[in-house]
Amino acid sequence: MSFRRRVPDADDRPGAPAVTSVEATSHTRVRQDLGLLARVVIAAAVVLVVSGVLWHGITMENMLRIWRNVMARPSATLSFRFILQPTIAVITAINDGLKDARRGRSPFVRAILKEPAQRKLRLNEGLNATARILLLGIAVDIIYQLIEFERFYPIESLLIALLLAFIPYCIVRGLVVRVSSPKSASRPDQGRHR
């Protein structure tokens, strides 16, 4: 017989998704569900990809246009987001990375790639943590495209949001765990000679 109960967590901020414990006959395992904003991000990503493919198709010309447009954005209108979004993502990643280090967890990307049992949990955590930043990125890029191009390229909006928010979050969260975990602090320097 199994049942669910609320597990208190240090991450009990308003709007944070609930962390539940599912007790089975053997032992307890922790699971984090996707929050509402994370689900909205996934739905928006699906809609953007499908509409982008249907609207503009998949051609080499479109791929080159996407690349040109992405590379031109930092010097164009609304360039403040190239500082704002990664900064917010980095602050969030530092906070989550410190929590991971205190709990003795492995670095974020490493857990996703090499620990199948942790993959879904950690991806859910990352998506929940960056959902607002991703939605902000998509919205700002839509405004940018309408001002700059007077057209809308859905896949570009998603790509920019991922590049400015989720990728920096993943990288920094893992680096913070590596730098601040007790294991790395107590490890003697190997291979160094005076």
pLDDT at 182: 65
Taking residues 107-119, report their average pLDDT.
Answer: 91
Task: State which amino acid sits at residue 154.
Answer: P
pLDDT tens-digit readout, 30-74: 557 889 999 999 999 999 999 999 988 888 888 888 888 778 777
pLDDT at 181: 74
Is the pLDDT score of 2 beyond 70? no
pTM exceeding the 0.85 threshold for the entire prediction: no
pLDDT at 79: 79
Is the pLDDT score of 11 beyond 60? no
pLDDT at 184: 55
Instruction: Count other C-beta atoms under 10 Å from residue 111's C-beta.
Output: 22
Kindly list the distances between the CA atom of residue 66 and the CA atoms of 73, 115, 148, in Å, as whole numbers in the listed order.
11, 33, 14
Could you tell me the residue ranges of all domains in the chain?
Answer: 1-33, 34-181
